[in-house]
Chains A and B, each alone.
Chain A
Amino acid sequence: MENNCNDMLLNEQSVWHNPAARYDPAVNQYCRWETPSPMLQPWVYTDWVRETLSWKKGCYLHTFLSGCPCITVKGPDAEKLLSDHFVNGFTLEKFPVGACKHVIACDENGMIYIHGICMRVAENTFDTYCLEPLVPVMMNCGKYDVEKGMPDCGKDFIFQIAGPRALEVVEHAIERDIHDLKFMRFCSAEIAGCHVRILRMGMGGTLAYEVHGNSENLLTVYDKIIQVGTTYDMQRLGLLAYGCNHTENGFPQSGTHFTCAEREDEEFKACVKAAHLEEYLSEAYYGMELPLHGSMSDMGLSAYYSSPIEVGWKKMINWDHEFTGKAALRRQMDDPNTRCICTLEWNTEDILKMIYGYFDDDPDVPEEVVFPQNYYFSAYGNLADKVFDKNGNLVGKSSGFVYTAFAKRIITLGVISPEYNVEGTDLTILWGTNGTRQFPIRAKVARYPYLSLTKNRDYDMESVPHYHKI
């Protein structure tokens, strides 16, 4: 009997290996997801320390967003459809062709319901990613004069290249100079003869690009990027390391830092019915009720929601148009006590005291601090802990646990009362789900985002060597 069944299971022709990367027999850890289609994704490529350091020193290639649902909104009412539901501005002036936006939709209470990426490819055409179920429901409900359609999870590939050397990799792959591509803009290019789109955006917290293209060409483009990447210290990023991006780089993320609110208003339900997409309302779509983790667990699911204002996205709100949740968001803007986002740097002594609790005489153990992120919980539910001031007043919540090997610290993102959002403020996080042995952990409000590299928007492009055909 041969022991190489894995080669059969996981080669790139197989249905199991994520089609967005080549099978590498040296990779031994995979994560399985059922949606959008069953696939196995490398969990760790080499080791998570090396992979998480990649976006500080060289760069990374992350390919697993390729399976995310993409849908094109096209027609005379395309702009209106998006504008009615998303907080962002969609006029041609605010959102020209060739631009991409991080778009946010809220529920009636102004809590984040969905967020994702939208690109304007023509005046009346938008390519969107991860905006299920809102966009397909609105496209198919008959209210808007747009083409009907459903999201396609395999149509496009999305490769993320992030880190100080990302531009060199991209330019080398497309064989031309795109130093002038501005932040949140995209352009067309070719890689190994295949048409692609290059977007200047990403999750690396510094210079970062995405390469989008037709999935038919995925492996051709992948191979080319891997080949040129070797020159620029590029690491492939497994899912474990990818999950460390958002906290360190200050990108609040649904499923990590907050739970998405659900749209339960009658108007939305009527649209779902009209679109014949009832499956989007059923339990089958939202999945089982996920357990709540952390010391917030006694406060109910809605305590895990966040508003765009709380997580620092108020600049993305365009007040010159009507959209779902506008009134609630306006009230939050006017309320001086609306909470705001920060980084919380954990006190090492207290972490070690808690770790000592794994081995002490107390019959109970504290919940484990899993390095480099709490993957058990991110797979099963939501994790948020209470944050107190020095007098024991509840002042906010903390989520997105990450150990950063770069800074050698444990950090989380906090959503806290504004008077405490001053660097150096001492707060206390109560670690542990209610009913377990909880530990108070002192934490300091730290810079946000925590990563001190220059942001993508502010990057000095002339510090990067220009592409020269060799």
Chain B
Amino acid sequence: MNKDYQTLHPLHVEDYGFDEMAYETGPYVPYKKEGAVYCAGGFPYLTPLWYTDWRDETLAWHYTCALYAHLNPSPLTIIRGPEAKKFLKENFVNNLDNFPIGIIKHGLICLENGLLATHGMLLHTAENQYEAYWHAPYIDYLFEQKKYDAELIDASERQYLFQLQGPRSLEIVEEVTGENLHDLEYRHYRDSKIDGNTVRILRFSMSGALGYEIHGEIQYAMTVYKKLMEIGAKYGMRLMGDVAYCMTNTPAGITQAGGDFQAATFMDEGFQRWKQAREGGADDGICDYDDMAVMDFLGGSVGQDISKHVFDPFECGLGHCVNLKHEFRGRAALQQRKENQTRKLVTLEWNPEDLTEIYASQFKQGEPYKPLDYPGGESSILGYFVSNMDYVLAPNGDKIGVAFGRVHSAFYKVMLSMASIDLAYTEEGTQVHVLWGEPGTRQKLIRATVVHTPYNRDRTNDVFDVGAIPCPLHMKGDK
């Protein structure tokens, strides 16, 4: 299936509708005319679960390029003013003193108790001006707790956000902008233009593959998307649906609060009171997915005890973002948590014989095991966010941690989980078990092996040799 990947499912722009009145998929992406299966409920607009099929789409970030455009609107908060940095430093765990303009940081906000509340991209865009993605509305709540000489602006619905990932993504972005972007380093961004309109190009990807984001003004979203389709078609690009997208981050070893596990904002009573007061009043325009972030469904063998669905940054692989050399919300707790860290993030590879037994149970009389119908990413399919947490057990049966759902990689031909487990078991090659299935249903112990994190160590965005990629603009010039 891999040999002819480039030409296997050619993108035909004419199969899609760009009618501005047809807002079922929102003003960001066109709709597929026939046979699209949509998810309703996750985002404000309907989002296709797949365009071709999940295998084909997940292979795109390995072979060509995958375009994902369903994170729209993305909560975007602009923080500006003389005390913008002061506000951020008091609330983000990151080191913001070493933060030049043009850099992307992974910005984390924790509760006073050190549990991860919200996280996303943080950009320094101008003097005294920052942009935070996916931190609203918690960041708005924090901002109101004190007086700062700064202002917060919700810009979520002013712009679009498109993600391109895969080895051909650079060429596509260069062709659409007409600019050589080979020198744009990992976790850097800069402005460019598409059809004369300013866009921002960010070198960043969820899958860890070479990847770029394009952010621009919302009124140009559809035309840019169409252009990306036309150019991308030449490179064998695939449009990516929600099922495939929810499978990007596990092989990359990047956990997500609100995606893989429960964000801790629900535990902040002050925030909850603030939210209730807001909801009673007029719409204040703040982009708010927080109702979804309080997971609608807690799944897995860990059960419904929500306290087992929240994590601090050290337990979920984000400890490197924490800078304890400044004063910030949750610092004391995080200091303590770091000193007493018992668990860390690993990747588990599931045993194929045991997986086959799960499938086999669907062909036998009696209660089957929890099925593996879908390749992973239950959140996307069900239309609401699922925190699926399964116990990880030592060979002697001790509970040594939890696994965050599972993802079937068609490229690596494995079933993978990210898991947070006791330090004693984190060495590569260690044999553990995952307890699969909700309490009260038929459960199965699945053998699993601790493997390297990230699993996709051979193709990471930060070390990708873009020098080996031809620049399509030069090639045009040569003719």
- A, B assembled together: yes
**Chain A residues proximal to chain B, CB less than 8 Å:** 1-6, 9-10, 16, 27-35, 38, 40, 43, 287-288, 348, 351-352, 355-356, 358-361, 363-365, 367-368, 371, 375-376, 379-380, 403, 405, 408-410, 435-437
Q: Please give me the residue from chain A that is nearest to B284 by CB atom.
A: A1
Kindly list 8 other residue pairs between chains A and B, CB separation below 8 angstroms, not including A9-B46, A30-B40, A356-B352.
A29-B40, A31-B37, A32-B31, A32-B34, A32-B35, A288-B15, A356-B353, A410-B363
Q: Is the CB of A352 within 8 A of B359?
A: yes
Answer yes or no: B287 CB below 8 A from chain A CBs.
Answer: yes
Known contacts A30-B37, A376-B53; decide if A365 and B1 are in contact (CB<8 Å): yes
Interface residues of B in 353-393 (CB under 8 A from A): 353, 355-356, 359-360, 362-365, 371, 373, 381-384
By a CB distance below 8 angstroms, the chain B residues around A40 are: 24, 38, 46
Cβ-defined contact, A35 with B34, below 8 A: yes
A33: B residues at CB distance < 8 A: 34-35
Using Cβ atoms and an 8 Å threshold, which residues of chain B touch A31?
35-38
CB distance from B57 to the nearest CB of A (A): 11
- Choose the segment among B107-115, B409-417, B435-443 that binds chain A (4+ C-beta atoms closer than 8 Å): B409-417
User: B32 interface residue, CB < 8 Å from A?
Assistant: yes
Contact check: which of B53, B73, B381 meets A1 at CB < 8 Å? B73
CB distance from B186 to the nearest CB of A (A): 29
Please, could you name 6 A-B residue pairs with CB atoms under 8 Å apart, sorted by A?
A2-B44, A3-B43, A28-B39, A33-B35, A359-B413, A410-B363
Q: From the candidates A1, A3, A30, A352, name the one contacting B286 in the complex (CB within 8 A).
A: A1
Chain B's interface: helix, strand, loop or mixed, by majority? loop
The answer to whether B22 touches A38 (Cβ under 8 A) is yes
CA of A355 to CA of B413 in the docked complex: distance in angstroms? 11
CB distance from B246 to the nearest CB of A (A): 14
- From A288, A363, A371, B371 is in contact (CB under 8 Å) with A371
Q: Are B2 and A363 in contact (CB under 8 A)?
A: yes
B23 at the interface (CB under 8 A from A): yes
What are the 6 tightest A-B residue pairs by CB atom distance, in nearest-first order?
A28-B383, A379-B35, A359-B352, A34-B33, A5-B44, A348-B363
Q: Report the contact-size class of chain B (Cβ under 8 Å from the partner).
A: 35 or more
- Is B41's beta carbon under 8 Å from chain A? yes
Given the known interface contacts A1-B156, A5-B44, the answer about A436 and B55 at a Cβ–Cβ threshold of 8 Å is: no
Q: Pick the most buried of B55, B371, B413: most chain A CB atoms within 10 A of its CB.
A: B413
Q: Does A371 lie within 8 Å of B408, measured CB to CB? A: no
B383 nearest CB across to chain A (Å) = 3
Q: Which residues of B contact A10 (CB under 8 A)?
A: 40
Q: Are B4 and A435 in contact (CB under 8 A)?
A: yes
Q: Mark B27-68, 1 if CB is under 8 A from A, else 0.
A: 000011111111111011110011011010000000000000
Q: Is A34 a contact partner of B44 (Cβ separation < 8 A)?
A: no
Chain B min CB distance to A442 (Å) = 14
Known contacts A348-B360, A408-B365; A32/B355 CB under 8 A: no
Contact B292 A364 (CB under 8 A): no
How far does the alpha carbon of A288 sit from the alpha carbon of B73 in the complex, in Å? Answer: 33
Contact of B37 among A43, A287, A355, A435 (CB under 8 A): A43
Chain A residues lying within 8 Å of B15, measured Cβ to Cβ, are: 288
Most buried by B among A33, A38, A364, A405: A38
Between A1, A360, A380, A409, the greatest number of chain B beta carbons within 10 A of the residue's beta carbon is seen for A1
B183 at the interface (CB under 8 A from A): no
Proximity string of chain B (1-18) to chain A, C-beta cutoff 8 Å, 1 when within and 0 when not:
111100000001001010
The residue among A6, A287, A409 with the most chain B CB atoms within 10 A of its own CB is A6
Query: In the assembled complex, which residues on chain A have CB atoms less than 8 Å from the CB atom of B382?
Result: 28
Chain B residues, CB < 8 A from A27: 40
Bound-state CA distance A40–B35 (Å) is 10
A359 in complex: contacting residue of B44, B365, B415, CB < 8 Å: B415
Residues of B within 8 A of A352 (CB): 356, 359-360, 363
Q: Does any Cβ of A come within 8 Å of B220's Cβ? A: no
Cβ–Cβ contact B363 & A408, under 8 A = yes
Point out the residues of chain B lying under 8 angstroms from A287, CB to CB: 34
Residues from chain A with Cβ under 8 Å of B36 in the complex:
31-32
Would B34 and A379 count as touching, CB distance under 8 A? Answer: yes
Select one of A29, A348, A355, A359 contacting B49, CB under 8 A. Answer: A29
Nearest Cβ in chain A — how far from B414, in angstroms?
6
Give the chain B neighbours of A379 by CB distance below 8 A.
34-35
Q: Which residues does chain B contribute within 8 Å of A435, judged by CB atoms?
A: 1, 3-4
Give the chain B neighbours of A403 by CB distance below 8 A.
Answer: 362
Question: Which residue of chain A lies nearest to B22 when distances are taken between CB atoms in the complex?
Answer: A38
Please tell me if the beta carbons of A1 and B288 are within 8 angstroms of each other in the complex: yes
Measured CA separation A2–B291 after assembly (Å): 10
**B-chain residues with CB within 8 Å of residue A410 when the two chains form the complex:** 363
A-chain residues with CB within 8 Å of residue B383 when the two chains form the complex: 28-29
**How distant is B421 from chain A, measured CB to nearest CB, in Å?**
22
As a 0/1 sequence over residues 57 to 84 of chain B, the CB contacts with chain A under 8 angstroms (1 = contact) are 0000000000000000100000000000
Q: Is the pair A358, B413 in contact by a Cβ cutoff of 8 Å?
A: yes
Residue from A355, A363, A367, A380 within 8 A of B359 (CB atoms): A355
A361 to B49 CA separation, bound complex (whole angstroms): 29
B269: chain A residues within 8 A (beta carbon)? none
B157–A365 CB distance below 8 A? no
A5:B45 contact, CB within 8 angstroms: yes
Interchain nearest-CB distance for B240 vs A (Å): 15
Contacts of B22 in A (CB 8 A): 38
- Name B19's closest neighbour in chain A (CB-CB): A38
Report the separation of the CA atoms of residues A376 and B50 in the bound assembly, to the nearest whole angstrom: 9
Residue of B nearest to A358 (CB): B413
Cα separation A425 to B44 with both chains bound (whole Å)? 53
Bound CA–CA A348/B356 (angstroms) = 11
Cross-chain contact of A9 among B23, B73, B286, B413 (Cβ < 8 A): B23
Q: Does residue B477 face the partner (Cβ distance < 8 Å to A)?
A: no
Residues on B with beta carbons closer than 8 Å to the beta carbon of A380:
35
B286–A29 contact, CB under 8 A? no
Residues of A within 8 A of B97 (CB): none
Contacting pair A359 B414 (CB below 8 A): yes
Docked complex Cα distance between A423 and B254 (Å): 53
B32 is contacted by which of A32, A358, A375 (Cβ under 8 Å)? Answer: A32
B266 in the interface (beta carbon within 8 A): no
For the complex, give the distance between the alpha carbons of A368 and B50 in Å: 15
Task: Tell me if B157 and A1 are in contact (CB < 8 A).
Answer: yes
Question: Which residues of B lie under 8 Å from residue A371 when comparing CB positions?
Answer: 362, 371, 373
Q: Are B35 and A6 in contact (CB under 8 A)?
A: no
Residues of chain B within 8 A (CB-CB) of A408 are: 362-365
Query: Closest Cβ of chain A: how far from B36's Cβ, in Å?
Result: 4
Is B289 interfacial (CB 8 A cutoff)? yes
